[in-house]
A and B are shown apart, each in its own frame.
Chain A
Amino acid sequence: NAGVTQTPKFQVLKTGQSMTLQCAQDMNHNSMYWYRQDPGMGLRLIYYSASEGTTDKGEVPNGYNVSRLNKREFSLRLESAAPSQTSVYFCASSEDPRQVYGYTFGSGTRLTVV
């Protein structure tokens, strides 16, 4: 089925460990996004990629890095995980910045940092 695929779905890390969250879309979308969702906070933008080859910081980029590997894939890396990064992470894509159809979201990655 066409859509946005995130891996892994669940992960537990120890403080200081690193990991990469993977995201791939097969809809030929140009723009991709990483959000985190915390209780009572809604969704906050971490990084985005308006098009292949470009990435920019969002509202809460500290502690994260991203790579737009190609048009399909956009990964999020935690270099040294902290308990404050315990959250649910969503990747999303859109056809273009005009957002005529809004975002398509992945199923999320539930990350716990202990």
Chain B
Amino acid sequence: ELKVEQNPLFLSMQEGKNYTIYCNYSTTSDRLYWYRQDPGKSLESLFVLLSNGAVKQEGRLMASLDTKARLSTLHITAAVHDLSATYFCAVDPRGSQGNLIFGKGTKLSVKP
């Protein structure tokens, strides 16, 4: 069974701290996506990682992909309250027709 597992599922951080969200997946894939969802809103694309070793950064967020370990990380640097949201990773299994398989999401709360 194809699985995409995120951990932690809930994360409470203080402003200014660093933390990493992990996304493990069980199938062969060289494409991984990170999305952000604010409460009651739709999903917004954050990062598209299309090859082994890919690293992308936007502001305080940095995402990386290790296809051999089947692992992606989303690193948060010096968290601020505006980063509070739910973050989803999604995998495009090799050979699929682009049907992304989503993790359950990590709900991040950044407190002053």
| Chain B: minimal CB distance from A84 (Å) | 19
Q: Are B104 and A90 neighbours in the complex by a CB distance under 8 Å? A: no
A50 in contact with B104 (CB, 8 Å)? no
B42 touches A99 (CB 8 A): no
- List of A residues within 8 angstroms of B48 by Cβ: 99-102
**A32-87 interface with B by 8 A CB criterion:** 33, 35, 40-45, 48, 50, 56, 58
In the bound complex, do residue B97 and residue A42 qualify as a contact, i.e. CB atoms below 8 Å apart? no
A106, B41: Cα distance in complex, Å: 10
Q: Total number of A-B contacts with CB less than 8 angstroms? A: 65
Asked if residues A106 and B99 are in contact (CB atoms below 8 Å), the reply is no
Task: Assess whether B97 is in contact with A97, with CB atoms less than 8 Å apart.
Answer: yes
B33 and A99 form a contact (CB under 8 A): yes
Could you say which residues of chain B place their CB within 8 Å of the CB of A33? Answer: 99
**Which residues of chain B have C-beta atoms less than 8 A from A40's C-beta?**
9, 104
Give which listed residue, A41, A42, A99, contacts B31 with CB less than 8 A.
Answer: A99
- Verify if B28 is at the interface (C-beta below 8 Å from A): no
The 8 Å CB contact of A103, one of B9, B100, B101, B104, is B100
Residues of A with C-beta under 8 A to B96: 97
Q: Are A107 and B42 in contact (CB under 8 A)?
A: yes
Q: List 6 A-B pairs, minimum CB-CB distance, nearest first.
A: A97-B98, A42-B104, A43-B102, A42-B102, A50-B97, A105-B43
